Structure 1
Amino acid sequence: MTTSAGHVSADIAAGPVRLVVGCGYLGERVALAWLAEGSRVIGVTRSDVRAATLAARGIEPLVGDVAAGDTGWLAELPPLTTVFWAVGFDRRAAATPRDVHVHGLGRLLTVVGRAGPHPRVILSSSTGVWGDEAGGIVNEATPPSPEREAGHVLVEAERLLHATAAGGVALRFAGLYGPGRLPRLDDLRAGVPLAGDPDSWLNLVHVDDAAAAVRAVAAARHPRPLYVVSDGRPVLRREWYARLAEVTGSPPPRWEPSATPRRGADKRVDPTLLFTDLGFRPAHPDARVAVAALVADQPADHPADTSSSGVRGRRP
């Protein structure tokens, strides 16, 4: 339970207690799935309005800012089974990515470590920790090579997690897509040239599969400290946007001539370890097939999120 001020009560329900920090596109799906499984779920948000929405859905809201130095709002946390850090990069916020994902994560880990038995902490990271790999295959054994600030910050966050939280697991997600989220669709429909090399690789994972991977890691007896999460079927950007244009009735994609030389994140993500270790299989193994169903199911009065920015700073 939570009070009107957003404080979590001291009453501890039987069964797992999960804390989801950042109840956005991915975090809320994970929270609702855990709730459906019978867990008690506490969701952290900065917004009172968002807190009311979470409460209406059965998630106990806890209002607080992970980037703030004061951690008093975390003082009433019960002993936790699992923590899922799913905070996204908010370009509108005054705090820097490092303030949030390194300093904020560090403060949370300190508080959680004092709250009782150490929970399993799962960090939402990104395949953006690798830069241009010239189309090569990357997996958990591939050293990070970030080219952007977001990637550098996430590498720092992963190292902090593994140095601080025993049994912590970092999940490097490929680009998320799913209901309400088909990035770059507005540009495609308007015939705006797309930036990027059309012959570079794009790695994707359906948001429901991403949420299922989080739950699989939480349930595993002895997971490894790092997994990459994708559908395992990289697709060339040229093919992906041609397919997106086809299923949405948009003009064929156009590309910025200055962006056609190889640059940026050109790699193929290999999630074999996740599949073999945990027996995980995505329900949507081919984004080119899944996107047709997404478009068909999209209500006319609820258009997809078509902005150019992807989750956690990634751009499909």
Structure 2
Amino acid sequence: MTKLIIGCGYVGLPVAQKWLEQGHTVYALTRSEKRANEFKKLGLKPIEGDITQPESLKSLPSADTVLYAVGFDRSANQTRHDIYVTGLNHVLSEIKNRTRKIIYLSSTSVYGQTMGEWVDETSPCEPERENGKICLEAERLFEKQRLISKREGHYSASAVILRLAGIYGPGRLLARMEQIRAGEPLLGRPEAYLNLIHVTDIVNTILRCDADIPLESHYLVSDNYPMTRQEYYETLAQMIDAPLPQFAVKESDQPELKSMRNHSTERAAGLNKRCSNKRLREGLGIELVYPTIKEGLPDATQSLRDT
């Protein structure tokens, strides 16, 4: 069978490797000639193109499954809206009627809850932050494109949206690591909840969604145990033999931290929800390899602890 990956990065690449092991032909879109050569060496079939340039997408092949796993590249001089919404629209316009299944990776940032509420796939999505609003706009575009396709009488692919919690794993964990080791305060509320998922469990979820089984339209992909930021960073600090973390709740408490603000800091400082993965476990039948960070952090930090 033929697979196409749009966004063959931290999540997409291990999915590609699994598909290759299963004997599939795997195409991967990339903007980079260097990256294309790396894909070739791995056995992938690279296609050079840019989701923000629709004319460059004409060579995308028909595929049994399309995985859309595009992340935001801050070095690309493009806005989140350019990537998440405009780029998605270009890709769907090109391939939506030439595939049997589309798996779209979204984010739990579409939820705007701030009081520690539990959320699931039926919870209202009313994000207040820019990233969440753009992710929700992209989801609605994804759903609208499918409805238009059905109304026009075209073949309509089955489609599923996976709302991913904060991704961690080998080589990815490591936001704030040096800050913790240096004993510098972390910006954000220590009592706010974090929702996390190990990359291995994301890959397994994608592969499960690619099976010939009935699917719901949305799955919330998070581990079993939302925890506070304080508990998370204290666990991480103990694991890497660093001082227990200190928190600066407001920028005004630590003006020098302003330069450190980024998307992950804003999210951690503002949102506060607990994600239920009941549908993932009971409906989709996913048995998590890393059900909590107690199991997942040792894997994610192994290379650091070996040095």
> Shorter-chain-normalised TM-score: which range?
0.7 to 0.9
1:133 CA displacement: 3.1
User: What letter corresponds to residue 32 of structure 1 in structure 2?
Assistant: Q
Match among 290, 296, 301 for residue 295 of structure 1: 301
Q: Can you list the C-alpha shifts for 1:65-124, whole angstroms capped at 9, x where unaligned?
A: 1012xx33332333211111111111222221111211111111111135xx43211111
Matched, 1:179 2:160: no
1:46 CA displacement: 1.0
Match among 153, 161, 169 for residue 170 of structure 1: 161
Identity %: 37
Q: Can you list the C-alpha shifts for 1:148-206, whole angstroms capped at 9, x where unaligned?
A: 22211111111111121342211100001101122211111111111111111111100
| Contact in 1 for aligned 2:68/2:104 (Cα 8 Å) | yes
1:231 CA displacement: 1.0
Query: 2 CA distance for matches of 1:235 and 1:193?
Result: 19
Structure 1 residues 126 and 260, CA gap change in structure 2 (3 angstroms): farther
1:24 CA displacement: 1.0
Match among 106, 110, 117 for residue 125 of structure 1: 106
1:299 CA displacement: 7.4
Partner of 2:11: 26
Structure with more strand by fraction: 2
Query: 2 CA distance for matches of 1:17 and 1:300?
Result: 39
Matched, 1:252 2:244: yes
User: What letter corresponds to residue 255 of structure 1 in structure 2?
Assistant: F
Structure 1 residues 158 and 197, CA gap change in structure 2 (3 angstroms): same
User: What letter corresponds to residue 212 of structure 1 in structure 2?
Assistant: N
Match among 212, 224, 230 for residue 216 of structure 2: 224
Q: After TM superposition, where is structure 1 displaced by more than 6 Å over at least 4 residues in a row?
A: 259-262
Q: Can you list the C-alpha shifts for 1:265-314, whole angstroms capped at 9, x where unaligned?
A: 1010001111111111110111123212332344757xxxxxxxxxxxxx
Partner of 2:52: 67
User: What letter corresponds to residue 17 of structure 2 in structure 1?
Assistant: L
Count, aligned residues: 282
Query: 2 CA distance for matches of 1:274 and 1:240?
Result: 23
Match among 80, 86, 102 for residue 103 of structure 1: 86
Partner of 1:309: none
> Secondary structure, in 3 states, of the residue corresponding to 2:74?
coil
| Contact in 2 for aligned 1:131/1:264 (Cα 8 Å) | no
TM-score (norm 1): 0.84
1:211 CA displacement: 1.0
Query: 1 CA distance for matches of 2:269 and 2:11?
Result: 28
**Pairwise CA RMSD:** 2.0
Partner of 2:121: 140
Task: Point out where structure 1 has 5 or more consecutive residues left out of the alignment.
Answer: 1-15, 302-316
Structure with more helix by fraction: 2
Query: 2 CA distance for matches of 1:28 and 1:111?
Result: 22
| Contact in 1 for aligned 2:240/2:305 (Cα 8 Å) | no
Query: 2 CA distance for matches of 1:47 and 1:167?
Result: 30
Task: Point out where structure 2 has 5 or more consecutive residues left out of the alignment.
Answer: 147-156, 254-267
